[in-house]
């Protein structure tokens, strides 16, 4: 029922990795979850094969600009949570996905250049809001942070908040556990998952679910 798009006009910020981690965490909590793989590179499909038959995450592949609205609507009717993995650009497909979303997650690294892309991505969300005449909540999540960047992260967080864009409390640190996902298929939520990465993923998921619940209550 809840559609969450993960997008950024910048490539390589950790969108696909986050989508996979969140989806697997939902599945392992017993939730029904699908990923709409709207990036032509198909990295989610490759991960899904490695994850094997025990994994209950559904993946909808071969999604194009022409089919994305239907694919999201179909998945939203069948699954409790639908996560949309988008390409790192501002395309028509990205706008369509945002328009169908209950929440937009914008992952970003903390450098100044990356923040520019946060603002650019947020503008895409704002244009969709104007087009649809409805609010589309968005949250930034700071990702791939080096443990040495906590000072910079504070500046980044402040700058984003000064632009009235909410930032999740949880930060995703740069860890080998996140890179391994694409090789092993195993995510931090799995039985041998890195506990620190698992707690970050759980933190992001809890914040997202709380936001969605608050929205539903307000509606």
Q: How far is residue 82's CA from residue 59's CA, in Å, rounded to a whole number?
A: 10
Strands in 24-102 per DSSP E: 33-38, 58-60, 81-86
- Which residue's beta carbon is nearest to the bound ligand ATP? 88
Q: How far is residue 210's CA from residue 2's CA, in Å, rounded to a whole number?
A: 12
Q: How far is residue 110's CA from residue 107's CA, in Å, rounded to a whole number?
A: 10
Residue with Cβ nearer ligand ATP (12 or 166): 12
**Binder to Mg ion among 5, 8, 16, 211 (CB under 5 A)?**
16
Give the one entry of Mg ion, ligand ATP, none that residue 17 binds, where binding means its C-beta sits below a cut-off of 5 to 8 angstroms depending on kind.
ligand ATP
**Binder to Mg ion among 10, 15, 28, 109 (CB under 5 A)?**
15
The distance of closest approach from Cβ of residue 84 to ligand ATP in the complex, given in angstroms and rounded to an integer, is 12
The closest alpha carbon to 18, from 154, 156, 145, 162, belongs to 145
Residue with Cβ nearer ligand ATP (136 or 175): 175
Give the one entry of ligand ATP, Mg ion, none that residue 199 binds, where binding means its C-beta sits below a cut-off of 5 to 8 angstroms depending on kind.
none
The closest alpha carbon to 190, from 51, 45, 83, belongs to 51
Contact 172, 149 (CB under 8 A): no
Applying CB under 6 A, the residues found at the interface with ligand ATP are 11-17, 39, 43, 88, 143-144, 172, 174-175, 178-179, 182
Of residues 30-49, those binding Mg ion (CB under 5 A)? 39
Q: How far is residue 194's CA from residue 165's CA, in Å, rounded to a whole number?
A: 30
Total of chain residues touching Mg ion, rule CB under 5 A: 3
Residue with Cβ nearer ligand ATP (146 or 216): 146
Give the one entry of Mg ion, ligand ATP, none that residue 80 binds, where binding means its C-beta sits below a cut-off of 5 to 8 angstroms depending on kind.
none
Residue with Cβ nearer Mg ion (35 or 197): 35
Residue with Cβ nearer ligand ATP (9 or 211): 9
Contact 106, 30 (CB under 8 A): no
- Return the number of other C-beta atoms located less than 10 Å from residue 153's C-beta: 17
């Amino acid at each position: 029922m809840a559609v969450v798009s993960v997008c950024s006009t910048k490539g390589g910020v950790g969108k696909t990795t986050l989508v996979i981690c969140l989806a697997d965490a939902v599945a392992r909590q017993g939730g029904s979850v699908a990923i709409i793989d709207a990036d032509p590179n198909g990295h989610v499909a490759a991960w899904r094969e490695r994850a094997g038959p025990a994994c209950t995450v559904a993946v909808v592949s071969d999604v194009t600009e022409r089919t994305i609205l239907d694919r999201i609507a179909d998945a939203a009717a069948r699954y409790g949570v639908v996560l949309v993995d988008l390409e790192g650009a501002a395309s028509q497909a990205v706008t369509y996905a945002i328009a169908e979303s209950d929440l937009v997650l914008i992952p970003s690294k903390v450098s100044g250049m990356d923040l520019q892309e946060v603002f650019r991505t947020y503008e895409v969300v704002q244009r969709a809001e104007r087009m649809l005449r409805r609010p589309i909540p968005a949250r930034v999540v700071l990702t791939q942070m080096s443990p040495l960047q906590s000072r910079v992260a504070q500046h980044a967080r402040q700058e984003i908040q000064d632009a009235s864009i909410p930032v999740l409390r949880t930060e995703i640190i740069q860890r080998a556990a996140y890179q391994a996902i694409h090789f092993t298929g195993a995510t931090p939520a799995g039985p041998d998952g890195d506990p620190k990465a698992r707690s970050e993923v759980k933190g992001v998921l809890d914040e997202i679910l709380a936001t969605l619940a608050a929205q539903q209550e307000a509606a």
